[in-house]
Amino acid sequence: MGKTYEPEELIELVTSKLDKSGLPANPKSIYAFIRSAYKISAADRLKIRQLLGIARVNTRRESLPLTNEEWAELERLAIEFNTKAGAGTSAGKPSWRTLVKDIANGKIYLIRVFD
């Protein structure tokens, strides 16, 4: 069985390895390397993300059942407001998720028009 590392030690070790190899040693690359090269518990993964400043805290995910027409309207609004995905396979493309986040973060203001 291999050596056991505390999360702080693992971060230092991996940062050093990345620096020596000339690879970028930013928080996300450090975490990705740790995940791929070491077997760590879920609790230690969370601790490492917290130490690296990339842990998601106070977040929640909800499901929102919408009709096809409602989804189409969200997608149309994402195009109209130029809200683009910042990462992932859809990076740079219109994103209803980014639209919703921008509304929630006050970057887009809504005015309700009554009939």
- Which of 4-8, 56-60, 76-80, 108-112 has the largest mean confidence? 76-80
Q: What is the dihedral of CA 98, 102, 105, 110, to 10 degrees?
A: -140
Q: Where are the domains of the chain?
A: 7-52, 62-115
Under a CB-based contact definition with an 8 Å cutoff, are residues 27 and 54 in contact?
A: yes
Q: For residue range 4-17, list pLDDT tens digits in order.
A: 889 999 999 999 98
